[in-house]
Amino acid sequence: MNRLIQFFFVVSFLIQFSCESRSSKNSKLKNIESTTLNAQETISKKSDKNSIKILTWNIQDLGQSKDDDEILTIAKIIKPYDIIAVQEVVGKDPRGAQAVARIADNLNRMGNKWDYSISDPTKSPSTNMSERYAYFWKTSKVKLISKPYLDTELEDKCIREPYIAEFILKNGKDSFFIVNFIVYPQTALK
């Protein structure tokens, strides 16, 4: 029952805070930095061994469109968190996966050890719309239980099939799931 409650909490969190930005590249990063700094101010300075910070980010077109400065800025923004679920990684060519690897490389240069997982391209009506999901996590805080997977049984309930990962706290005994997916408000409650 505890795992079911955790699952629904994470899904609800992801639905509420998944968003899409349509602004220009420079203003997008400035807005993200400002929002992140405000959010970080509310994070407690004391870190409980049994707590983790989760961030979900619809990063929009993560691939060739992100230059080295943007990749570094993204790494700096997500560094305070323990698990990050990313949506809209470019899936039609290898540049999306390469951008994810570049972010992980930057994170690893900042002190903590990070790992990541990237999904296969999702199903889409057009190859130009094919996307991937990604997870980043601090290996000192959590451990991935098994390889994350795209849940094809849920693809008709979401825009693209969700990417599901199971983690466990390093000092914990109960695992928990994170469901990474995209939903638009007009389709969320159908």
DSSP assignment of 125-164, as one string?
Answer: SSGGG-EEEEEEEETTTEEE-S--EE-GGGTTTSSS--EE
Q: What is the pLDDT of residues 109-160, one digit of tens each?
A: 998 999 999 999 988 766 667 899 999 999 999 999 999 999 988 877 777 8
2-16+53-181 adopts what CATH topology?
A: Deoxyribonuclease I; Chain A (3.60.10)
- Name the residue ranges covered by the structural domains of the chain: 2-16+53-181
Q: How far apart are the first and last CA of the chain?
A: 26
pLDDT averages per 10-residue partition of the chain, 190 residues? 46 42 43 44 53 92 88 96 95 90 96 96 75 96 96 81 95 92 68
Spatial CA neighbour of 188 closest among 16, 10, 68:
16
CA distance 38 to 57: 16
pLDDT for the residue numbered 50? 73
pTM for the predicted model, two decimal places: 0.73
CA distance 65 to 73: 14
In this structure, are residues 55 and 83 in contact, taking their beta carbons and an 8 Å threshold? yes
Q: Give 68's contacts (C-beta < 8 A, 6+ positions apart).
A: 102
CB atoms within 10 A of CB 45: 4
- Distance set, CA 32 to CA 25, 58, 188 (Å): 11, 11, 24
pLDDT for the residue numbered 3? 52
Collapsed DSSP state (helix, strand, coil) of residue 16? helix
